[in-house]
Structure 1
Amino acid sequence: MLPIWDQVLFLCVVAFGCYIQAVTGFALGLIVIALSALFGIMSIELASIVVTVITLSNASVALWQSGCQVRWSRIIPLVIASAPTIYLGLLLLNEMNDASQELLRILLGVTIVGCSLMLVFNPKPLAKESSLVTFGMLGFTSGILGGLFAAYGPPLIFQFYRQPLRLSIIRDSLLMVFLILSLERIGFLVLEDAMPMQALLQAALALPVTLTFTLLGGKLPPPLSDQAMRRLAFVLLMLAGIGIIVPSLLAY
């Protein structure tokens, strides 16, 4: 178990991530893993497993609350194509030894900063929806990030927010994608006998916070536009990413 103050800090991070994800449809994985790494609360590997479990309850409650307005025709090819690369990402994560941890932190930080810079701007909607093949390719590339960090979001978010769809459909489609991809990742972890009891206990402790702040996000959204909310979340992530990269570079 985490020390008491680390536990309190982690629950605060989960609360913030769940609230943001309930409002926008994304950012839970990036926020929890980035801030956990930044504050040294737990390892990236453990945080990624805890986030995977938390995402199941967060996405389920948010979708139930919103009515589950999902674009299934684009989700199905995405989640099918993501399965092999999620497994590949998990294999890469398992192969990293202690000496690779700083490299992993740098990779996480660079990923977060790059995605923050990309997503802080509001992508212009396309004239028509992207093809099924495009979404399949998106799932294939996103799976690596999902396997490594349980943070599938950045390329998925950018692509979905470019679609000429209502924001409620975009949000719910993203939540459904994260729910299904989390189930895929958990399935691979169970098959590999790599689901630590510590992660399950930590996710269980975070469950009341997860449910409370997911419901709050649906009932009491902030008085900000969707664009302003996304910019706020990703400015924070960019700063967290920089905070992860600099100490890791100095450690080399």
Structure 2
Amino acid sequence: MPRRAAAGRGPLRIATWNINSVRLRLPLLKDLVAALAPDVLCLQETKCPDDLFPHEGIAELGFAHRLVRGMKGYNGVAVLSKRPLLLREDDPDWCGKGDCRHLGVSVDAPGGPIELHNFYIPAGGDIPDREKNPKFGHKLDFVAEATAWSAARPARRAVLVGDLNIAPLEHDVWSHKQLLDVVSHTPVETTALTAWQAKGGWHDALRHFVPADQKLYTWWSYRAADWRASDRGRRLDHVWVSDDLAGALTRHVVLKGARDWEKASDHVPVMVEIAP
């Protein structure tokens, strides 16, 4: 096995995972670290208030630096790192809800700090109509606010990751035609997400490696009796990098096998490697 460079040197590996309860799935983080050896791990849906976050168990995995923003029962984001972190204090409170859906940090990296944003976008409920479904309206408003924020401050040496709960491209879903009226792939959502990406100067890191005409999924529903056989997936988890880092992308991994782990999340971990 090749030796890893010392912490703070060499390529930067950033992973993201909707863990769907950090306390319930804490043992799985050991498997993730063994498979991906990330320098930085961003979690979503931690479902854990800050005072109950399992810092000790995560520190044992080598993540000496941890920033968390959580609440009881749902939502919650965390950034775990082997490299020093600095919290960004002035990022927005999206839609004025204080619902722990974003954590912005600065990560120590070769060539200078990298700005890293970890997002958990609202799922949006089941009905794609903001008048009939306030959850869908909240989702659209959140993305609109994030788009305006990004447009006002074009990204440089920056990475955005997370469960964005939208599969924007035709081959980000198992059936484009059948899912056009299903929340996560409706035209109003996909248009909004691609506008956020474009106006913020973001580059789609996963599609940097996997052409847009190839299927690419990161989520498979719990409802499937055999998720591999049906393979009705969606790409809900994303990694974007600022355009100035696009040329520094060296590798990506979608850890599909994690969907088979005991007590698995319905999302799988995703990682990109950057040589900034």
TM normalised by structure 1 equals 0.26
Structure with bigger strand share is 2
Structure having greater relative contact order (Cα 8 Å, sep ≥ 6): 1
Structure with bigger helix share is 1
TM normalised by structure 2 equals 0.24
